[in-house]
Amino acid sequence: MSKNISAQELLDHLNQRIEKGQYRDAVHKIKLMTAKEVIERVLAEDF
């Protein structure tokens, strides 16, 4: 994965990992889900 990706691309990547079960354990899955939710909130904010 490139280091210079957009927030939307990162969100898509996190969604794919969660959907495909590409995480180490339940705690890692929760961390991925939390990161996804934070990014979604930031993108939804009006600047």
d(CA 36, CA 33): 5
Quickly state the pLDDT bin for 42 (edges 50, 70, 90). Answer: very high
pLDDT tens, position by position, 4-25: 999 999 999 999 999 999 999 9
Q: Is residue 3's pLDDT more than 90? A: no
Q: Is residue 2's pLDDT more than 80? A: no
pTM given for the model: 0.83
d(CA 4, CA 6): 7
Average pLDDT for residues 23-45, to the nearest whole number? 96
